Structure 1
Amino acid sequence: MLGIADAIDQMNRTVACLIRWLALIMVLVQFCIVIGRYVFGFNSIAAQESVLYLHATLFMLGAGFTLLVDKHVRVDVFYAKVSDATRRRIDICGHLLLLIPSMTALVYWSWPSVRNSWKILEGPISVGGIEAVFLLKSLIPGFCILILLQSLSLLIRMLNTELKT
């Protein structure tokens, strides 16, 4: 089982290594937009939307890695003051009762919208924008799957540790 967890972790690390470059590209595109607008008087809705697409891709596909390295948002009301074993049990309950059900519900309820978007190859958000909203919507199930897999990996590791103690 730990081999499965290792493979999932490696997959999220690989995705993170690929998409981290989107942050630099996003900054460069935004810089070009600002220079184009204020220096040359040129404006492009497609270029502005590309920043939105880059940001969405970076956030949505990077979330699994964020969960892997434990840098996600956590409400530390009780968590900070308890033992490692209690933290592990809180995490197990959180994954099983909150994270996995919410990601499953999100992928279930968003799938019809994603499927329909692909069916019609849904066009731009704004007139003159990028004609690929179907790709943007595809990030939703991608996000859910990466989070679900990483949650499974973390659960495997936590349960393995729990069984050893």
Structure 2
Amino acid sequence: MSPFLRFAHGIDALNERVGRAVGWLVLAAVVISAVNAAVRKAFNYSSNAFLEIQWYLFAGVFLLGAGYTLLRQEHVRIDVLLSKFSRRTQVKVELFGFVVFLAPFVLLVLDLGFPFFLRALNSGEMSASSGGLIRWPAYLLIPVGFALLGLQGVSEFIKRLAFLAGKAPDPGMKTEGKTAEEELAEFLRAQQEAAK
């Protein structure tokens, strides 16, 4: 099980890095939105490209962050019935969910999403809006995001099998640690202290 667990931890590390990087897309979207609003008010000028890049960033946050969300056990769950069972039974139900629901859905979206991206790339598809952006970067987010989600599903499956075999701790328990907001606040404080 050890090589599989190393593989799972490698996937975890990948999604951890992607998730942390994706957080900066939120800041970029806010800055672009603020600049767009200021330019529109001050100079009575607006661009569809500014609006569309915000949409692209928003899509990137949700699609690229899906694997990170699964890693952090922050995805939507309905535990009303499941909470009445033992943890081992809960893990077996989660394994069933990965195999029956997550894996087929991810494979279907990859099967449909990658050709969708390739068609847009090859045709040079542009936004129908005046001054709009090319579309393929937004379409690329679909297969990349679902590939990351699928990989994280594989990692979670491996870790749960290892837990049932008694070779790993329970991966379904949220780790008590600092939130992303707390980590960002500490980083900003450290930057301010270094600037003094």
Instruction: Confirm or deny a common fold (TM above 0.5).
Output: yes
Q: What code does the residue aligned with 1:99 have?
A: L
**From 35, 59, 62, the counterpart of 2:62:** 59
Q: How many residues align?
A: 164
**From 11, 16, 40, the counterpart of 1:8:** 11
User: Runs of 5+ in structure 2 lacking a partner?
Assistant: 168-196
Query: Equivalent residue of 2:117, what SS?
Result: helix
Counterpart in the other structure of 1:109? 112
Q: Which structure has the larger Rg over C-alpha atoms? A: 2
Partners of 2:83 and 2:37 lie apart in 1 by 43
**From 114, 123, 130, the counterpart of 1:120:** 123
Give the stretch that moved more between structures: 73-82 or 133-142. 73-82
Q: What code does the residue aligned with 1:158 have?
A: R
Counterpart in the other structure of 2:71? 68
CA apart distance, 1:125: 4.5
Counterpart in the other structure of 1:138? 140
Larger RCO: Structure 1 or Structure 2 (Cα < 8 Å, ≥ 6 residues apart)?
Answer: 1
**From 1, 25, 29, the counterpart of 2:28:** 25
User: Runs of 5+ in structure 1 lacking a partner?
Assistant: none
CA apart distance, 1:136: 0.6
Counterpart in the other structure of 2:181? none
Aligned identity (percent) is 31
Partners of 1:73 and 1:85 lie apart in 2 by 20
The alignment's C-alpha RMSD in Å is: 1.4
Q: What code does the residue aligned with 2:154 have?
A: L
CA apart distance, 1:38: 2.4
Query: Equivalent residue of 1:75, what SS?
Result: coil
Q: What code does the residue aligned with 2:34 have?
A: F
- State the TM-score, normalized to the length of structure 1: 0.93
- State the TM-score, normalized to the length of structure 2: 0.79
Query: Equivalent residue of 1:76, what SS?
Result: coil
